[in-house]
């Protein structure tokens, strides 16, 4: 059949089969009209349209109602080519990262900020790596690690894919069913969920998290595995959910929810020292600016006095600081209540095995084959000590696994066999017990002499 191609004021007839697809037709237009497409940062391409709708390359002409004598419009369009792409292992999507040649001269920390704003994920929930699997740290420069138009990979903590996917979709039940059993990690996950709900406008999820005790004026922070690291964390880890809500004019309902729960969110500062009003001003969101300005200029009515909002917020902040200090002195509350403690996992960049490979929950909790393949020689019996089988509460598979892993760790770290280490520990314990017995005996003798002298 014969169709007519309209391009830049001219109309040329073209004979094509009825089942011809759009892709080869674009090549035909390039050859007939001698179209030259540039290959710079402004990527140019041809677009065929019929009836006002753009035609995809895989479509057949007969399937979209194009018959003989139809006129197809051809346009030359241009768009900026992405500087790189980031594959999101949580959603399976590829994010285009736009930028110029100067984009490659920035740090990885800046790139993580851009990726966080596009994906809605806090910077402390993912890592970036090259196609070769090399992890990029915040202090690295992009020009030293990657090339132009590279596709990086975004991975999250092992066992977190379903949890983060539920947060991105706003499914409260999915989030609730994939929470960690460890209290420090659970607390961190709930704050992450509130951040994502604020970034994407999930009102139901945000309300549920606020009822669970989360705070929109609290920063997300870092994973408990990283809380003992001396390296300075990413700047955006101090970003709060209220700041994320103020960055988007479509999240006015989330903003109102946060402020109605706690007025202190009006005075919450981000890592750059900006309150929510300044954040909304810099992003040009007039609705959020109008609401926040009216709130800050309003009066707070108390029992017998009315105070301006700014004075009330300052007094409220002082009261909260005093209550926290008093509670800390009484040992009822400390800032380390949900942080890392002795016995918890510690992650040091470049030394530990990567815990951010987007593995599923089952794969993350499954023991490695290397531990199962190694068999420890049984220890000879020590007659002076009670048998483990006669001690209550120690006959369990879990305790047996812990004992096996501990003995294996002793052999690797100390260079001694489990028997040699046991003999060494018993010798130290026997010496220590003799010293304690001597001190207690001397103390009792002194106390007895004091009582005699007192009489």
Is 431 part of any domain? yes
Whole-angstrom Cα distance, residue 74 to residue 11?
A: 10
Record the pTM: 0.63
Is 302 part of any domain? no
CB 271 within 8 A of CB 238: yes
Q: How many domains does the chain have?
A: 2
- What tokens were used for 242? 């209220």
List the domain range (segments joined by +) for residue 427.
368-455
Nearest to 132 by CA among 122, 112, 147: 147
Is 416 part of any domain? yes
pLDDT at 222: 87
pLDDT at 387: 44
Whole-angstrom Cα distance, residue 28 to residue 175?
A: 52
User: What are the phi and psi torsion angles at 450 (to 5°)?
Assistant: -65, -40
Integer-rounded Cα Rg, in Å, for the chain is 33
Is 20 part of any domain? yes
Which among 31, 64, 80 is the end of a domain?
Answer: 80
Q: CATH number for the domain including 55?
A: 3.10.20.90
Is 373 part of any domain? yes
360: left (phi > 0), else alpha (psi -120 to 50), else beta?
A: beta
Exposure on the CB side of residue 212, measured as CA atoms within 13 A: 19
Is 115 part of any domain? no
H/E stretch holding 44 reads strand 42-50
Is 410 part of any domain? yes
Cα–Cα distance list, 404 to 58, 278, 414 (Å): 60, 57, 16
State the maximum Cα–Cα separation within the chain, in Å, rounded to a whole number: 127
Whole-angstrom Cα distance, residue 95 to residue 119?
A: 8
Which among 47, 80, 113 is the end of a domain?
Answer: 80
Is 377 part of any domain? yes
CB 88 within 8 A of CB 56: no
pLDDT at 182: 87
Instruction: Please work out, in degrees rounded to the nearest 5, the angle formed at the alpha carbon of residue 35 by the alpha carbons of 34 and 41.
Output: 150
Which among 42, 58, 80 is the end of a domain?
Answer: 80
Whole-angstrom Cα distance, residue 321 to residue 291?
A: 27
pLDDT at 325: 72
Question: What DSSP string describes 415-448?
Answer: SS-HHHHHHHHHHHHHHHHHHHHHHHHHHHHHHH
Whole-angstrom Cα distance, residue 213 to residue 215?
A: 7
Find all residues with CB under 8 Å of 240, minimum gap 6, and list them.
Answer: 195, 216, 217, 218, 219, 220, 265, 268, 270
**Long-range contacts of residues 273-280, Cβ cutoff 8 Å, at least 24 apart:** 274/243, 276/242, 276/243, 276/245, 276/246, 277/246, 279/243, 279/246, 279/247, 280/246, 280/247, 280/249
Give mean pLDDT in consecutive 10-residue pieces for the chain, a chain of 455 residues.
81 83 81 65 74 83 84 79 85 83 79 91 91 85 75 90 93 92 90 94 93 91 74 82 86 89 88 89 87 88 82 81 69 47 65 71 52 39 43 46 54 67 74 53 43 36
């Amino acid at each position: 059949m014969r169709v007519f191609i309209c391009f830049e004021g001219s109309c040329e007839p073209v004979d094509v089969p009825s089942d011809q697809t759009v892709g080869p037709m674009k090549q035909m237009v390039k050859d007939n009209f001698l179209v030259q497409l540039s290959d710079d940062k402004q990527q140019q391409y041809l677009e065929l349209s019929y009836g006002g709708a753009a035609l995809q390359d895989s479509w057949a002409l007969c399937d979209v109602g194009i018959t003989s004598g139809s006129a197809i419009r051809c346009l030359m369009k241009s768009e900026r080519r992405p500087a790189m792409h980031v594959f999101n292992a949580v959603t399976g999507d590829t994010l285009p990262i736009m930028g110029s040649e100067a984009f490659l001269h920035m740090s990885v920390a800046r790139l993580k900020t851009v990726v966080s704003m596009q994906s809605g994920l806090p910077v402390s929930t993912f890592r970036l790596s090259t196609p070769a699997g090399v992890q990029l740290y915040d202090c690295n420069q992009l020009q030293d690690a990657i090339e132009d138009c590279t596709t990086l990979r975004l991975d999250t903590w092992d066992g977190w894919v379903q949890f983060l996917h539920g947060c991105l979709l706003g499914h409260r039940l999915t989030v609730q069913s994939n929470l960690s059993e460890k209290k420090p990690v659970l607390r961190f996950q709930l704050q992450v969920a509130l951040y994502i709900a604020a970034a994407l406008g999930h009102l139901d999820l945000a309300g549920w998290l606020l009822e669970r005790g989360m705070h929109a004026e609290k920063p997300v922070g870092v994973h408990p595995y990283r809380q003992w690291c001396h390296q300075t964390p990413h700047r955006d880890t101090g970003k709060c959910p209220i700041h994320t809500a103020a960055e988007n004019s479509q999240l006015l309902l989330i903003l109102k929810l946060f402020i109605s729960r706690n007025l202190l969110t009006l005075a919450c500062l981000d890592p750059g020292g900006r309150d929510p009003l300044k954040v909304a001003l810099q992003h040009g969101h007039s609705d959020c600016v109008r609401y926040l300005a009216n709130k800050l200029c309003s009066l707070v009515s108390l029992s017998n006095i009315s105070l301006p909002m700014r004075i009330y917020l300052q007094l409220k902040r002082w009261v909260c600081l005093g209550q926290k200090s008093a509670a800390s002195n009484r040992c009822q509350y400390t800032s380390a209540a949900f942080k890392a403690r002795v016995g918890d996992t510690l992650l040091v960049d470049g030394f530990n095995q990567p815990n951010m490979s987007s593995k599923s929950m089952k794969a993350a909790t499954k023991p490695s084959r290397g531990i199962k393949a190694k068999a420890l020689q049984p220890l000879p019996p020590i007659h002076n000590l009670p048998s483990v089988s006669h001690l209550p509460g120690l006959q369990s598979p879990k305790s047996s696994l812990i004992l096996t892993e501990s003995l294996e760790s002793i052999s690797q770290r100390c260079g001694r066999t489990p028997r040699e280490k046991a003999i060494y520990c018993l010798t130290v314990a026997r010496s220590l017990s003799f010293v304690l017995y001597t001190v207690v005996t001397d103390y009792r003798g002194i106390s007895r002499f004091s009582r005699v002298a007192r009489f």
